[in-house]
Structure 1
Amino acid sequence: MSKELKTGIVSVIIIALFIWGYNFLKGQNIFNPGSRYFYVEFDNISGLNEASIVTINGLKVGKISKITINNSQEKRGQLIVRFTIENKFRFGKNSTAKIYSAGLMGGQNLSIIPDYSGEEAVSGDYLQGKVEKDLLSSLNDKLTPKIAHTMEGVDSLVTGFNQILDMKSRESLNRSILNFEKITLDTKNSLTLLNSVIKNSKENIESSAKNAKKITENFSKISENLANSNLSKTVKKLETTLTNVNVVLTDLKQGKGTLGKLMKDETMYMNLTHASKELEELLREIKLNPKRFVHFSLFGKKTEPYTNNSKGIKTN
């Protein structure tokens, strides 16, 4: 195959695709020559364009292929919409083509409301046209009478209120409003003063918070030290010591041991008392008459007998 032939074939394919794409955008499918087309007339198409789709019961069945202006004397100014439908969808001539809103963001589509009574619609027939109001228009139509009725009621209420309030009542109401304004101003001044006090006390509050934090940290350290000091063993040792002390006190109370006998045995107590008294007398005698107990002479002098001064008795 020559290069020129290849180039010619490619050119023909490109031209064919261009023609098919152009007709497809216009709503005509050249590969489906059996597609039917219909017409519908509108006074206002409400934004419908040649890119809009055609649906039956929500299913896409075709496209708007062309929109033109009717130039006839009787229907001058009307718009003629041409759309294509696939052959497999059948409906009667009494069917209606309705323009409806595709969503809140705008855009209009064409919906076929099929009517199967009477003769079947054939390609080239004119269908009845209808425009469905969008959501905002419907709400406006429904709310406008209600809003007007409500405004009339408000106007009547205000008029009756003005009739009820005489001059004296109005003056009283004005005074109440002025008092309310004064109360509002006083409240505002109080809040300003409170904010000033809080601002001035901010440093003290922060200092107190820091001190509280330090106290908490110290208490935590003390708790940790107590936990680490094995307090349970110390308490156990203290309990053992107290038990031993109680045993000793019990023995003393029962007269066991030297201290217990000394506390309980009266004879021993009396003997110790007498011995202590005699020892005291002996010490006093030694102090008063040392020669009676100690004698020392370098020349061998004879020891003089002890004389009891109280009785005048000499002893050898």
Structure 2
Amino acid sequence: MPQNRLTRQTVKIGFFTLLAILILYLGITYLKGLSIAGLSKTYYVSMNDVTGVNVATRVFVNGYKVGSVRKIEYDYAHNGKAVLTLTLDPKVQLPQGTTVQVAQTLLSGAIVNLLLPALETGAYLHAKDTIPMSTERSAMSLEQLQSEFVPRISATLSRMDSVLLQANTILSNPNIEPTLADVRQSAQHINASSAQLQRSLSSLPKIMERIDHTSANVESFASRLDSLRLQETISNLESTSRELKSFTQRLNQSNGTVGRLLNEDGLYNRIDSVTTSLDALIRDIKANPKKYVKLSLF
């Protein structure tokens, strides 16, 4: 049992090691821009000068990447020319008359362009055919690019140096420190205000909950108010109003005692005369009590 288990573990380790090597190979091949053997077409190019061209240099057709340079070999038998091995997408069809042109770029180095003929005859190149170099003038060489862009870059760097010098002068100004302090203080105030606003916003759900609760209470009160017997109350008020009106009408009539008192001047005058006489009598009694009350002593 232990030996079988050890053999099984050894097989697993070997399998995963081979798998890791395969993945590593495919990854390196992908990163280098090379096509996997068996999944590409191979073509050859004979060149006098391969300056800037390296293994994994990209190959384009009308600006679209279709492959890369897989190998560069020096051909000693043919006047020292170099032979490039190109691996292209197997779906690419190159018509007869296709030529190769090497163009230089300032940032990414050389690229290989496949120039398709303007008129196609219907015949196509086969795999492992040699593609001739183009007689057309290629893009600027690396030296030309350097001679054109280096002065511009130098001028740009000079302007940048001037800007940095001015910035250094501004930063070395003694008045800049108080300004920066004010800016920092303003930033602190902004941060404090932001924190306070955040706290206020955090309490907003509670406020909304209270508003919802208050709204529910108002709705409940409105429903209870609707359920009150308002019609009966209004009827009672109307009845009371009619009774008060009837009482007022009876007061205005001269049939009753109160009505005659309010409406007949003679009755009022007699009552007033009696009241006046009674008042005079009370005063006279107070002034002359002996006149009305006689006391006898033993």
TM-score (norm 1): 0.38
Which structure is larger by alpha-carbon Rg, 1 or 2?
1
